[in-house]
Structure 1
Amino acid sequence: MKKILITGGAGFVGSALAISLKTNYPSYEIYCLDNLRRKGSELNVARLGKAGINFIHGDIRSKEDFDALPIVDTVIEASAEPSVLAGINGGTPDYLINTNLFGTVNCLNYAVKCNAQFIFLSTSRVYPIKTIETLDFEEQDTRFVLTDNQKTRGVSSKGIAEDFPLDGVRSLYGTTKLASELIIQEYNEFYKLKTVINRCGVLTGPWQMGKVDQGVMVLWIAKHFFEQKLAYIGYGGEGKQTRDILHINDLYRLIDWQLHNFDKVNGEILNAGGGVDVSVSLQELTDICQKVTGKTIPINKVKENRPADIRLYITDNSKVTALTGWKPEIGVEQIVKDITDWITENRADLEPILK
């Protein structure tokens, strides 16, 4: 019987992975650690309990909170302050750094104590902003598109690969995740800790509490659902900025495979995103939201760019697909439908959070 600890376990990603694992492997003992800081995470505690998952109220910033935890076989590090704007738009970066960097160190030390496998959820935001912004692209009718005419290594029309250059500024959020990646590699080498790092693109799906700075898919759909205003911000205000997106159920399939084939991914760094086939611009997303919700809302145009924003990001999944056989299966329109259905079914609970 496997025992698994998921940090950030009441968050969107952590709770989704926990519930899927418990559903598919009822004999597994799953523990979810979370400080419940993010608005809406309290809703997931009841969901975890109903699924037979052990919830522990604790904080990865606190070494003492790990002392009472049981010995486990695997740690899935899904906790984070995920805002790209954290520490940039006023305030200090203390919480960000203490959670995303020092918190990860506490998780690693706990994993060493347990001799546990360590799955780390990193981010595509480790790739530097200015380098991405200088990539060759085409402006099409509804989106920006990467070309194969690139001077930078690790990028093509398929997207950005793991060997993309890492020199440069990437946001404080991206920097803390990259610093954690470097430390994880040291633990893999010198403590012989089995590790895998997944650089995730834009993750989304039901039970994500979307905000302006994190969870834009849910935010965009919710604004349509509740008939509120939105804005295309930056890059001329046309809504052509483009991202690939990954349904949480597709991410689960990858984590499930890694969990049960760990020796094949030990020490690896893997991109994991929607890729070209599951990508969308804001303009295209608006059309899909209108189709699925049946509602049209006013969208303002703001030409000026926001701090730390990028024109487009697409994940090149070539490495992870070759290594594991995994690739995304859930398309953009199905993602919008899933989230819309979730909001409809849970409107009373979600309206105060998402509206």
Structure 2
Amino acid sequence: MPRNYLITGGAGFIGSNYVARLLQRGEQVIVYDNLSRAGAVRNLAWLRKTYGESSFRLVQADVRDSQSLQEVAQEADVIVHLAGQVAVTTSVVDPRTDFEINAAGTFNILEAARLSGRDPIVIYASTNKVYGGMEEVKVKELESRYAYVDYPFGIPETFGLDFHSPYGCSKGCGDQYTRDYARIYGLRTVVMRQSCIYGTRQFGIEDQGWVAWFVIAAVKRLPITIYGDGKQVRDILFVEDLCDVYDLAIEHIDLAAGQVFNIGGGADFTISVWEEFGPLLEKLLGESIPVKRGDWRPGDQRVFISDIRKAQEVLGWKPKVGVKEGIQRLFEWVKTNQDLF
């Protein structure tokens, strides 16, 4: 029997990919989005063209609107909360708006779920930024990347929280509220502390979505600036694998409720920001890519790799799309759809 899904940020990169999956299998979907992000209107047009004009219901509204959220939550069996302010740099410039969207907006979601009387499942897209700059973690420098000295599998969920930057604070606030609503109110919530997610339908910009931004900039011959030395390492996760873990958490909510999961490519799917990614991108493009160099940005971790073993053990989830395959798929999508950028 189809479930009723409420997807906040449903016209965004992750949201539109997950909505497409839900529509494909016949679920009832409400897309809740204020359409402020670049690409949101284009993603909506793609969803309507692919699945039909009336395949989903659009509520054009903001997560700061608690009344609107309470109304739509009356229909939801599952709420996947993806809407948010997503850039660290933007949060530094305008911390109040960042707080109102990420912290207060998530609180509005949780209250709407609690007051709905439907006991909905709530999936919250948190971030690895809740672990802060992680300056105390020992890192070694290799030829093309940095590496952890003491965390061969990556950073586990038990690692201490240290909200660095207004963005880290606002997302961390939502993270902890989501976790606590399971403890205090019995709400079936799941926190996904996501690493670098990338894939098709991602309209990356310099401040957010770096994998997509580098691909878009390379294909469009736009200037690229590398901040730091380019040896920073991230575990990257293709969006289809992220959608898989959402599905598994919902399917196994009896095990997942109240839990926090680090979700990324893990130790097997990592790449350094430019020293390794640059040559791979140049090979796909068939030419060298000139770049500018800039100073390190505040809170930029030398390494972040998620320890994803908890999600593997509890949910039976493991990423499937390797780094080279995923980047090639993204590259081909951007190359084929240059008119969208």
Range class of TM-score, shorter chain:
over 0.9
CA distance in 2, matches of 1:169, 1:21: 33
Render the CA deviation track for 1:211-231: whole Å, top value 9, x for unaligned.
111100011111211223323
CA distance in 2, matches of 1:285, 1:34: 32
SS at match of 1:189: helix
Correspondence list, 1:69-108, <5 A: 69=72, 70-88=74-92, 90=93, 92-108=94-110
User: Could you say which residue in structure 2 is the equivalent of 1:185?
Assistant: 179
- 1:255 and 2:258 aligned: no
CA distance in 2, matches of 1:85, 1:78: 19
1:134 to 133, 136, 147: 136
Correspondence list, 1:50-199, <5 A: 50=49, 51=51, 52-69=55-72, 70-88=74-92, 90=93, 92-112=94-114, 113=116, 114-129=118-133, 132-148=134-150, 156-166=151-161, 168-199=162-193
- 1:223 and 2:225 aligned: no
Render the CA deviation track for 1:279-302: whole Å, top value 9, x for unaligned.
101211001101112132212333
Alpha-carbon distance, 1:64 to partner? 2.4
Q: What letter corresponds to residue 55 of structure 1 in structure 2? A: L
Q: What's the TM-score, normalizing by structure 1?
A: 0.90
User: Could you say which residue in structure 2 is the equivalent of 1:297?
Assistant: 289
Per the alignment, do residues 256 and 169 of structure 1 end up closer, same or farther by CA in structure 2, a change over 3 Å counting? Answer: closer
Contact kept, 8 Å, 2:224 with 2:291, in 1: the verdict is yes
SS at match of 2:275: helix
Render the CA deviation track for 1:101-120: whole Å, top value 9, x for unaligned.
11111111221213211111
User: Could you say which residue in structure 2 is the equivalent of 1:9?
Assistant: 10
Contact kept, 8 Å, 1:9 with 1:18, in 2: the verdict is yes
- Give % identity: 30
SS at match of 1:30: strand
How large is the Cα RMSD of the aligned pairs?
A: 1.4
Render the CA deviation track for 1:286-329: whole Å, top value 9, x for unaligned.
01101112132212333x31122121111111111111111111
- Gaps of at least 5 residues in structure 1 are 149-155, 351-355
Q: What's the TM-score, normalizing by structure 2?
A: 0.93
Q: What letter corresponds to residue 43 of structure 1 in structure 2? A: R
User: Could you say which residue in structure 2 is the equivalent of 1:332?
Assistant: 323
Render the CA deviation track for 1:139-191: whole Å, top value 9, x for unaligned.
1111111122xxxxxxx12111111111x441211111111122123321222
SS at match of 2:37: coil
CA distance in 1, matches of 2:65, 2:240: 30
How many pairs align? 332
Contact kept, 8 Å, 2:14 with 2:239, in 1: the verdict is yes
Contact kept, 8 Å, 2:182 with 2:188, in 1: the verdict is yes
Correspondence list, 1:264-343, <5 A: 264-281=255-272, 282-302=274-294, 304-343=295-334
Contact kept, 8 Å, 1:292 with 1:336, in 2: the verdict is no
Q: What letter corresponds to residue 181 of structure 2 in structure 1? A: Y
Alpha-carbon distance, 1:232 to partner? 2.5
Alpha-carbon distance, 1:49 to partner? 2.4
- 1:244 and 2:235 aligned: yes
CA distance in 2, matches of 1:232, 1:7: 32
CA distance in 1, matches of 2:43, 2:293: 35
Contact kept, 8 Å, 1:242 with 1:311, in 2: the verdict is yes
Contact kept, 8 Å, 1:159 with 1:276, in 2: the verdict is yes
Q: What letter corresponds to residue 234 of structure 2 in structure 1? A: R
Runs of 4+ in 1 over 3 A off after TM superposition: none
